[in-house]
Structure 1
Amino acid sequence: MSTTADPLAALGALPGVADSVDSVRKAVDRVYGHRVMRRRSNEITSEAALRGARGSAALSGADWALEEVRRRTDFSGDGEERTVGAALRLTAEAGQFLSIWRQSPLRVLARLHLVAAADSTEGAGRPRLHGEPVDEPLIELPVPDAGEVAGRLEGLSQLIIAGSEAPALVTAAVVHGELASLRPFGSHNGLVARAAERIVLVGSGLDPKSICPAEAGYAELGRAAYVAALDGYASGRPEGMAAWIAHCGKAVELGVRESTAVCEALQRGAA
């Protein structure tokens, strides 16, 4: 497939992107090679899901301590509680959509929004219509109208269905960036975007056991850095796109560091 017919592969050729891809692959390979992963990978996966949910919720305005997220069981209260609950539901259920993502990505996105909204939001599970507002903490980019959203969602869907020779990091970064900047739903767009990125990273085989929570990495890098990198993606300029992909790569590497620390703790018998 040529880069002309495969625009994601063209992004992979941007300056610095190959270095990010290589660095991520080496980091992921190291944590998968940890001796604890041979015996207790399910525990690492569960902990990564929790840490990823906490990180994603933090980026959407609910910056709770990890142990508070671990302890709580009722998330039906105020806005922050609902945000944390939505993030936990998404990380818990995203894996079931791996088999249909490549065939029907728009169906998966609709389902992810239903999971996040818990069917309590008007318009849950469908892209917003003309004139409908967007409630999205943190992201302050101009909001595309419903017509542009529909067209770009269809374009993204076709890219995913067609497949690409681009590295998984590039595809995941584009899916995340496009959804976060488009904000196709009336709410929970950031949470959905990061869950979709997780599906790409797992389904591509880069992180098949889902132990590298990029969401935790984004939270560690900070909301200001996230917004600045997303602005670069939304600009459409090559340097902005490359910077966004690099930011996503750093987040994955920080997620790897989280899981490596968990592996070390389990090895010492401290967790």
Structure 2
Amino acid sequence: MDPLAPLLDLADVADSLAAARDRVDAAMRHRALRRHGGQVAAEASLRAAVASAALEGHPYDVEEIRGGTVTDPVVQGSLRVAEGLGGLVDLWPRAPRQVLAKLHVLAARGVVPADDLGRLTGGADRVDALARLVAGNAETPPLLLAAIVHAELITLRPFAGPAGVVARAAARLTLIGRGLDPRGLVAVEIGHLAREPEYVGSAGAYATGTPDGLRSWLRHYAAAVSTAADELAVIGDGVLAAA
């Protein structure tokens, strides 16, 4: 049985997640993906990395980062994480703790002392529980599981430095590995950044553990995914215009 199924009974949650999935499915039919899928994926990955760094308090214009002039270590870490996601998809459901450590090494190199890379600073029991939830879980719908992965890690911040980058990447791995976004095109980080006050507020609400707090976060996550799906269409239009 799906251990998270009761969350779908919270008001508006199931409908919000279903609507977000429909938006993703529609975006995946964009004609740019037929011949220019690689370009679209690269652009989505870049924008996701820029947004994730911004959510950690390191905002830069995407064109600055595209030009290679930004040396901010948090930005560079976010870019390394985005580049490394593809190589971690298969390992994520088999060894979640190992993947989280790898993500932290990528994200935090040059930000925290070398001895702290990949090492938990707290919340080990809850991280273990999350790892058990992820490992081999084929029952929980991908959007719901990704939302909980993200929320748990952003609440715990179990790593030193840019732990939020790790949380957002782990959620993306869930969406990719569970087949909702197999090509890694849906840059949910863009949706979180576009709704940043709501993102911060709903994450705080989730941390209370109340039904209303959980509902607030899940509805935000669905909205962020919908925004990211719309952004995918914008990226696709831009690639076609430049072709």
| TM norm structure 2 | 0.94
Q: Does residue 1:155 correspond to 2:129, yes or no?
A: yes
CA distance in 2, matches of 1:66, 1:208: 24
2:146 aligns with 172
| 8 Å contact kept, 1:48–1:259 | yes
Shift of 1:74: 5.5
| TM-align CA RMSD | 1.5
Q: Which of 171, 184, 193 pairs up with 1:197?
A: 171
| TM norm structure 1 | 0.85
2:232 aligns with 259
2:102 aligns with 111
CA distance in 2, matches of 1:255, 1:197: 14
| Matched length | 241
1:238 aligns with 211
Q: Does residue 1:188 correspond to 2:179, yes or no?
A: no
CA distance in 1, matches of 2:38, 2:69: 21
CA distance in 1, matches of 2:9, 2:175: 19
CA distance in 2, matches of 1:116, 1:73: 19
Shift of 1:244: 0.5
The gaps in structure 1 that reach 5 residues or longer are 76-80, 129-145
CA distance in 2, matches of 1:209, 1:20: 23
CA distance in 2, matches of 1:117, 1:48: 22
| 8 Å contact kept, 1:57–1:191 | yes
Q: Secondary structure of the equivalent of 2:155?
A: helix
Letter in 1 for 2:199: Y
Shift of 1:262: 1.4
| 8 Å contact kept, 2:40–2:239 | no
Q: Which of 69, 73, 76 pairs up with 1:85?
A: 76
Q: Does residue 1:228 correspond to 2:228, yes or no?
A: no
The gaps in structure 2 that reach 5 residues or longer are none
CA distance in 1, matches of 2:133, 2:75: 31
Q: Does residue 1:7 correspond to 2:6, yes or no?
A: no
1:131 aligns with none
Deviations 1:17-59 (A, max 9, x none): 1111111111111111111111111111100000101110110
Of residues 105-114 and 18-27 in structure 1, the stretch that sits farther from structure 2 once superposed is 18-27
| 8 Å contact kept, 1:8–1:164 | no
2:60 aligns with 64
| 8 Å contact kept, 1:212–1:253 | no
Q: Secondary structure of the equivalent of 1:156?
A: helix
Deviations 1:187-212 (A, max 9, x none): 11101000101100111101111111
Q: Secondary structure of the equivalent of 1:216?
A: helix
Letter in 2 for 1:211: L
Q: Secondary structure of the equivalent of 1:173?
A: helix
Q: Secondary structure of the equivalent of 1:201?
A: helix
2:44 aligns with 48
Q: Does residue 1:126 correspond to 2:119, yes or no?
A: yes
Percentage of matched positions with identical amino acids = 39
2:90 aligns with 99
CA distance in 2, matches of 1:44, 1:74: 22
2:21 aligns with 25
| 8 Å contact kept, 1:169–1:245 | no
Of residues 171-180 and 243-252 in structure 1, the stretch that sits farther from structure 2 once superposed is 243-252
| 8 Å contact kept, 1:8–1:166 | yes
| 8 Å contact kept, 2:73–2:109 | no
| 8 Å contact kept, 1:12–1:166 | no
